[in-house]
Structure formats: structure tokens, C-alpha cells
Amino acid sequence: HQATTKRVGTHTATLPLFTTQYIMDYRLNERHYGALQGLDKKRVEAGEFGHDPKDVQNWRRSWSAVPPLLDERDERRVEEIRTFLGCCGGDISNIPRGESLAMVAE
């Protein structure tokens, strides 16, 4: 009993040292691929969603090219706003609808 009590006591004493602070910010996410977000990459590249494969390649590889923006009424956009509105100053314009690599680097 004494060893168990000591171990529990030591464990309890160290808990404050390992307390995790969570930071929720949309800027910690990966690049936002706009209207392509969440779609199957191979199907998008094959043109199944109406985008020219050369455009898709350009959006993925170019430093400054921005993919088609996610529509404000799209369910994915609505979910992003619901998730991130509280951590972006309450301004939905702070939540990107699509990003180039240059925008991510800023």
C-alpha cells in the first residue's frame, strides 16, 4: 500500500507540468484547396469534376495560382465557418475559401 500511495502521489504532483494548452486556429491547417477540398485527388486530376487536368496541376504546383474558391453556400464551407468562427475574431473573411502556396506562406 505504501508504494502504491507514493507512486500515485508522485504522479499527481507531476500532472501540472504536463498540462496541455490547446490552440485552435484555422491558420494551423494545411493549404485550403477551395472547391477541390475533400475531393478524391485522382478523380480531380482525371477531370471527373469538370476541371481541366492541366489547370489542376497548375493549382497544385504553382506558387501563386489559387484553385476555384469554395462557394459560401457549400456544406463544406458552412462546416468550416461553424468550426473556426470562434477562433478567427468572429469574421468569416478570415477563414479562407481557397489558398495559393504563397498565401499559406504569408
At 81, which CATH number?
Answer: 3.40.50.1240
What tens digit of pLDDT does each residue of 47-103 get?
999 999 999 999 999 999 999 999 999 999 999 999 888 888 888 998 999 999 999
pTM of this prediction exceeds 0.75: no
- Containing structural domain, residue 60: 2-105
- Counting every residue written for the chain, the total comes to 106
The total of structural domains in the chain comes to 1
Find out whether 106 and 33 touch, Cβ atoms under 8 Å: no
